Amino acid sequence: MVDGVRESVRQAGRMPWPGLLALFAAAFTAVMTELLPAGLLPQMSAALGVPEGRAGFLVTAYAVASFLAAIPLTALLRRFARRRVLSGTLAGFAACNAATALSSSYAVTFGIRVLAGTMGGILWAMLVGYAARMVPAERRGRAIAIVSAGITVALCAGIPAGAALAGAFGWRAAFGVLAVAAAVLVGWVRATVPGFPGETAAGRVPLRRVAAVPGVATVLGVTALVLMGHQAVYTYL
C-alpha cells in the first residue's frame, strides 16, 4: 500500500524529497567510505604499522574492487527487488566501516576495504537509475542532480569533517560514526524509498549492445581518466 501511494505521488509529478534525500545520503556515505582514509593517512598508517604511501593503498583497494565488481555483481543482482539490494549494500557499508574501526591489522583492513569496494560498485551502478525511476521524465534531471550532490558535499565537507573528528577523537571514532550513520540510513531508505522490482530476463539488454551505443565508449573512457586522476591526487593531498 505504501509503495502504491508513492507511485501515485510519482505520477502526480511531485518531487519525493524524503526518498531523494535518502539517496543523496547514500551517495554521501559511499564517497565517505571510499575516501575517508585519504584524510586520515598519518593516523591510520601509524596505528596499522605501515608507511603513509602503503596506507594510501586502502583507497586504491576500494576503488579497484568497485571497478571489478560493478558489472558482474550488478548483473547477478538485477533480478532482485531494488530496495532490498540498496538496503543490503548500505548494511554492508555499515559492517565494513565498523570492522575498519575495530581492526588493528593492515592486511585485515585491506581485505575489509576490498569488500567495501564491492558494495560501492553495486551502489553506483543503481543509484542514478533509481533516482530517475522515482520521478516523471521531465524531472529526472533534477532528481539525479539532487542525488549526485551527495558526492560534492562529501568531498567538500564530509571528508574534512571526518578528519576533524579523527583529530579530536581518533580515526577509529570517525569510522565508527560513519558505520552508525550507514546503519541508520538503512532504515531511512526502507521507510522512504519506493520499492521497484528487479529486471526480468526478457527485459535485460546485453552489455555488448549497451557498449555499442554511439558515444558510450567515449564517455566511459573520459570518465575513467578523470576518476583516475582525481583519485591519484586527492588521496595524498
CA distance 53 to 51: 5
The whole-model pTM stands at 0.86
Half-sphere exposure of 18 (CA within 13 A, CB side): 10
pLDDT exceeds 90 at position 41: yes
pLDDT of residue 1: 38
How far apart, in whole angstroms, are the C-alpha atoms of residue 55 and residue 110? Answer: 9
| The three-state (H, E, C) secondary structure of 22-84, written as one string | HHHHHHHHHHHHHHHHHHCHHHHHHHHCCCHHHHCHHHHHHHHHHHHHHHHHHHHHCCCCHHH
**In terms of pLDDT, which residue wins out, 1 or 184?**
184
pLDDT for the residue numbered 5: 39
> What secondary structure letter does DSSP report for 214?
T
Query: If you average pLDDT over residues 165-174, what whole number do you get?
Result: 96
Q: Which residue has better confidence, 201 or 181?
A: 181
pLDDT at res. 235: 60
The CATH code of the domain at 2-199 is 1.20.1250.20
Measured at the alpha carbon of residue 89, what is the angle toward residues 86 and 92, in degrees to the nearest 5?
A: 155
Is the pLDDT score of 84 beyond 80?
Answer: yes
Q: Where are the domains of the chain?
A: 2-199, 205-237
Residue 155 CB coordination number (10 Å): 16
Asked whether 170 and 78 are in contact (CB, 8 A), the reply is no
